[in-house]
Amino acid sequence: MSDEFFEEDKTEEAADGNSREAEEINETPVNSNIEEQTGESGTAAYDAAEYNAAAYDGAARSADIYSTEAEGSIYRLSKPAEGENGNEPGSSYSFWAEQVQNTGAGQTYENYQQFKENSGFTAQNGAYYQGTQGGNPEGQNKKKDGFFKKAGKFVAAAVAFGLIAGLAFTGFNEAYYKVNPNAAPIYFNIGGDGDFLINSNGQSKLLSSTAITDGKIAPKTDVTDVIDRTMPSIVQITTTYNQVYNDWFGQEYNEESQGGGSGIIVGKNEKELLIATNNHVVEGADPIKVKFIDGTEAEAIIKGTDSVADIAVISIDLTKIKSSTMDKISIAKLGDSNSIKVGEMAIAIGNALGYGQSTTVGYISAKDREVQVDDKKMVLLQTDAAINPGNSGGALLNLKGEVIGINTVKYSSSEVEGMGFAIPISRATPIIDELMSREILTENEKGYLGVYPQDVTEDVAKMYNWPVGVFVKEIISGGSADKAGIVAGDIITKINDTEITASTQLKEKVNSYRAGTKITVTLMRNVNGKFTEKTIAVTLTSNPQTNTR
């Protein structure tokens, strides 16, 4: 309503003037009066009817100048920006303003506030808005009949609307609770120092720190504490590779390139700090540099790798780490990925694009997802937390701050978003433990088997009805395999207790033992068209041959 509605004419009012004003009042549509009452407040029946109609429609919506706005799973009440047109595409507007066509768009919030004060409407924080009758505008002259005619018609229209809204609300309420007898009503109230959500027992909480879940108030999830606790156990990894190129004339050129990734501090012994990462992050790299949370750097070496599982452990000599840095870093707590459920929140931390540690948040989308990565299949956790280049080797955390996965790969496509994958920590832990216990050996100290290998993948195995493993194409005469009785045509499936499915894995496993060590090789041998399992003891030698394992 405009202020002029209550303003007393300073000049002498003519009889025909009063007649015209009466005609104008008679022509004022009821919807206009309704609209003039729908601002920050209104009658209790109006507010209740408006909310329940909106709630029944499936979404909490506000009264006219306020609207509900979804922000993730958090719903909050928000006031439109100054000058915002509620009917324009893309902006939020109220459910009831849409129904009454908002014929009083020219009225301002300040006009409404003036009307509210003049007519006796009050708003109280934490309670319904109450309307009181009999309120008189300040400074108004009661002697003017024009005013009483106008005010009388306005009040009559408001009362009529209140009765209609109350009946509608009562009818809706009865119908709704016949269908949902156990439902507990929840109401939105607006005003005071904050936006509140109030349930049927009168309890209230700020919406900025609550979420709506099945009609209940759930605390907003805040991951800052989790990140603060776990960030000291996450490191940035920078790798350097020496690549060799040949030009058209056979001239050889060396070129250095750099890569990046992330790592998780998983252990410490008397001599070294141990960090888990992806094998593809550090494979073939020299040197490998690690940056800690305090910004200091140290050089690391590869302690052990498993290319099939895409897991590596690198180590840093403790003498190369400052004591002040040791005070600031921590060892990550490894959780149980078997116990997590689809839909639980997940936090990914890593060195995205080499910019430094960053955090993304999402959910566990799937478990035990079989994914083809290069030439091997991996069973991984799927998450919609963004895993970008540089995140590889970083941690996927639960809300307890426990590592539930090692970020490893992201499905990249213009048609797909939000598909990141992590190695389940319950699968990774036994491999990490074994890699951490390995002895760091020089090339001359490593053991060699002395065979030319060929992978028998799942596809090849199905085609020829062979077991999956490593096919022995040729034996190096005088090598450890030859001396032990391994022959060409055998398919190696295990080294000690570790299953072997690829030639790179065979090399890594054999080379992790010192020359002179006795190992057990499990293989499948074709005898008269049938494969028979054999177990052979092999003593590794120290005579490396080109292109042999």
Residue bearing the bigger pLDDT, 344 or 254: 344
Could you tell me the two tokens for 100? Answer: 């009454």
Establish whether 228 is a catalytic residue: no
Establish whether 392 is a catalytic residue: yes
Could you tell me the two tokens for 489? Answer: 């045509």
Tell me the mean pLDDT in the region 193-210.
38
Cis amide bond preceding 185, omega within 30: no
**Which residue in the list 64, 306, 310, 490 is annotated as catalytic?**
310
Q: Residue 256's pLDDT band (boundaries 50, 70, 90)? A: confident
Q: Please, are residues 286 and 254 in contact by the beta-carbon 8 Å criterion?
A: no
- Map residue 356 onto helix, strand or coil: coil
**Which residue in the list 315, 337, 365, 392 is annotated as catalytic?**
392
Tell me the mean pLDDT in the region 341-369.
89
DSSP one-letter string for 238-288 = EEEEEEEEE-TT--EEEEEEEEEEEEEEEEE-SSEEEEEE-HHHHTT-SSE
**Identity of the amino acid at 202:** G
Mean of the per-residue pLDDT values of the chain: 72
Task: Dump pLDDT digits (tens) for 405-430.
Answer: 999 877 655 566 668 899 999 999 99
Establish whether 280 is a catalytic residue: yes
Residue bearing the bigger pLDDT, 385 or 196: 385
pLDDT confidence of residue 269 = 93
Task: Dump pLDDT digits (tens) for 450-495.
Answer: 999 999 998 899 999 999 999 999 999 989 999 999 999 999 999 9
pLDDT confidence of residue 376 = 78
pLDDT confidence of residue 166 = 61
All structural domains of the chain: 3-219 (no CATH), 228-328 (2.40.10.10), 345-436 (2.40.10.10), 451-539 (2.30.42.10)
Task: Dump pLDDT digits (tens) for 372-417.
Answer: 877 778 899 999 988 878 889 999 999 999 999 999 877 655 566 6
**Identity of the amino acid at 170:** T
d(CA 115, CA 111): 6
d(CA 319, CA 323): 9
Could you tell me the two tokens for 32? Answer: 């206009």
Residue partners of 449: CB distance under 8 A and separation at least 6 = 479, 480, 481, 486, 506, 510, 521, 538, 540, 548, 549
pLDDT confidence of residue 279 = 94
pLDDT confidence of residue 162 = 63
Residue bearing the bigger pLDDT, 165 or 535: 535
pLDDT confidence of residue 161 = 61
